[in-house]
């Protein structure tokens, strides 16, 4: 009885390994023979199989729906014709991981390699121009664990608590709110720009707030308390459109922006495709947006070098002018 169970287990494992070998070593241009599969099974997994057994295994995989083709000849050759992700899709995923500043270099390298392996023999081609070292990024190596804890709390409909950094780098790590914990009802984890954000209702701020995931201190703790229900009209761009460094103590205000048509894409990227835009002239537009008017937002406006300006209200204009004047005085 025990031997029969062991044989059944070995047969299942062998079939799984055969599938992995074919997907790892073949694609439209790369083939593998049953003899080569036999050697890999023996050397890598210590599994011995006859040629006929492997022929049967491959037929089972084909019958199960895997797009594996047999090229008949003196030695039949096999290869995968299609995968769940094509090369272009994997390239998009890899470059997204490469540029995501919420991941540390260690996490980025690991995730890029895992995604690359889905391409089989094309992995080296996909990764040849990828270099995570070229990007400045967080040194928080717990981001994946943090996201996992958040998603688990969302699945269980529970609130979470965590401490939050003002910044995080090798020189300085200061906690906000006097080092006290934030209690949050988590709704979503989304990417905006170069960072990932937790969107949720903060008991401290008494509103829906965005927290940069890489600034969360350690893995959040789940509380035995149900989440505040998520609003049906939750709008992600409004949650994120405050300061990029997500300062939590600045109230949102309605600001009127006037900008050139050639920076329209930047405006839509930040405020969403449904922002209410009014045509001022053939070259300029105007729009009312809700933002947190802090130095980070003012610096963003200043970066357009005159192609975008704050045209109201006057108190926000004064704050912007004051910030620019103070910076000029430092020169």
Domain of 268: which CATH number? 3.30.70
Residues 6+ apart with CB under 8 A from 62: 68
Distances (CA, A) of 178 to 40, 115, 171, 204, 207: 57, 40, 19, 13, 20
| pTM exceeds 0.75 for this model | no
* CATH assignment of the domain containing 72: 1.10.10.10
pLDDT at residue 60, rounded to an integer:
94
Whether the predicted pLDDT of 52 surpasses 80: yes
Q: Which H or E run includes 284? A: strand 284-291
Mean pLDDT of 35-46: 93
Single out the residue in 134, 168, 196 at which a domain terminates: 134
Are 161 and 130 part of one and the same domain? Answer: no
The burial of 197, by beta-carbon neighbours within 10 Å (0-12 exposed, 13-18 middle, 19 or more buried), is given as: buried
Are 148 and 235 part of one and the same domain? Answer: yes
Residues 6+ apart with CB under 8 A from 266: 304
Could you report the per-residue pLDDT of 61-78, keeping only the tens digit for each?
A: 999 999 999 998 888 899
Number of folded domains that form the chain: 4
Question: Is beta strand 77-80 parallel, antiparallel or unpaired with respect to 277-279?
Answer: unpaired
Single out the residue in 240, 272, 296 at which a domain terminates: 240
Mean pLDDT of 140-155: 92
Are 12 and 73 part of one and the same domain? Answer: yes
pLDDT band at 246 (very low <50, low <70, confident <90, very high): very low
Coil/strand/helix, residue 110:
helix
State the Cα–Cα distance between residues 10 and 135, nearest whole angstrom.
45
For residue 34, being part of any structural domain is answered with yes
Are 31 and 55 part of one and the same domain? Answer: yes
pLDDT at residue 55, rounded to an integer:
93
Among 27-36, 131-140, 270-279, which is the least confidently predicted range?
131-140
For residue 195, being part of any structural domain is answered with yes
pLDDT at residue 66, rounded to an integer:
92
Share of the chain above pLDDT 70, in %: 87
Whether the predicted pLDDT of 134 surpasses 70: no
The burial of 54, by beta-carbon neighbours within 10 Å (0-12 exposed, 13-18 middle, 19 or more buried), is given as: buried
Whether the predicted pLDDT of 242 surpasses 60: no
Domain residue limits at 30: 2-80
Residue 161 tokens read as 């608590």
End-to-end CA distance of the chain: 84
Coil/strand/helix, residue 93:
helix
The burial of 231, by beta-carbon neighbours within 10 Å (0-12 exposed, 13-18 middle, 19 or more buried), is given as: exposed
Are 74 and 150 part of one and the same domain? Answer: no
pLDDT, greater one: 266 or 159: 159
pLDDT at residue 43, rounded to an integer:
93
For residue 247, being part of any structural domain is answered with no
pLDDT band at 14 (very low <50, low <70, confident <90, very high): very high
pLDDT band at 298 (very low <50, low <70, confident <90, very high): confident
* Average pLDDT over all residues of the chain: 84
For residue 245, being part of any structural domain is answered with no
Single out the residue in 117, 134, 151 at which a domain terminates: 134
pLDDT at residue 161, rounded to an integer:
96
Residue 195 tokens read as 């960072």
pLDDT at residue 41, rounded to an integer:
94
For residue 286, being part of any structural domain is answered with yes
Tell me which range, 126-135, 231-240, 311-320, is most confidently predicted by mean pLDDT.
311-320
Residue with structure tokens 């599994």? 47
pLDDT at residue 121, rounded to an integer:
85
Whether the predicted pLDDT of 90 surpasses 60: yes
For residue 246, being part of any structural domain is answered with no
For residue 35, being part of any structural domain is answered with yes
pLDDT at residue 19, rounded to an integer:
93
Are 268 and 305 part of one and the same domain? Answer: yes
Are 67 and 93 part of one and the same domain? Answer: no
Residue with structure tokens 């789940």? 222
Are 227 and 311 part of one and the same domain? Answer: no
């Amino acid at each position: 009885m025990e031997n029969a169970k062991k044989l059944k287990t070995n047969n299942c494992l062998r079939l799984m390994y055969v599938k992995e070998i074919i997907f790892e070593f073949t694609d439209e241009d790369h083939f593998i023979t049953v003899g080569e599969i036999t050697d890999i099974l023996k050397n890598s997994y210590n599994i011995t199989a006859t040629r006929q057994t492997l022929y049967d295994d491959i037929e089972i995989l084909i019958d199960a729906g895997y797009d594996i083709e047999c090229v008949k000849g003196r030695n039949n050759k096999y290869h995968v014709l299609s995968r769940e992700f094509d090369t272009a899709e994997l390239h998009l995923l890899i470059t997204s991981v490469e540029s995501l500043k919420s991941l540390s270099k260690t996490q980025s390298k690991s995730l890029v390699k895992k995604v690359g392996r889905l391409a089989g023999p094309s992995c080296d081609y996909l990764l040849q121009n990828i270099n995570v070292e070229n990007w400045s990024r967080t040194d928080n190596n717990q981001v994946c664990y943090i996201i996992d804890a958040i998603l688990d709390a969302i699945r269980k409909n529970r609130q979470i608590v965590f401490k939050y950094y003002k910044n995080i780098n090798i020189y300085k790590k200061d906690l906000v709110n006097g080092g006290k914990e934030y209690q949050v009802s988590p709704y979503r984890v989304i990417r905006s720009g170069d960072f990932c954000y937790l969107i949720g209702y903060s008991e401290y701020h008494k509103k829906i707030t965005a927290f940069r995931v890489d600034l969360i201190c350690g893995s959040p703790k789940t509380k035995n308390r149900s989440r505040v229900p998520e609003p049906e009209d939750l709008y992600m761009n409004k949650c994120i459109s405050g300061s990029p460094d997500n300062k939590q103590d600045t109230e949102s205000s309605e600001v009127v922006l006037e900008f050139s048509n050639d920076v329209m894409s930047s405006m839509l990227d930040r405020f969403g495709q449904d922002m209410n835009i009014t045509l001022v002239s053939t070259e300029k537009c105007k729009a009312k947006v809700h933002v947190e008017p802090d130095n980070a937002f003012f610096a963003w406006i200043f970066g357009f070098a005159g192609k975008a300006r704050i045209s109201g209200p006057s108190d926000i204009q004064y704050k912007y002018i004051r910030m620019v004047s103070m910076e000029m005085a430092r020169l």
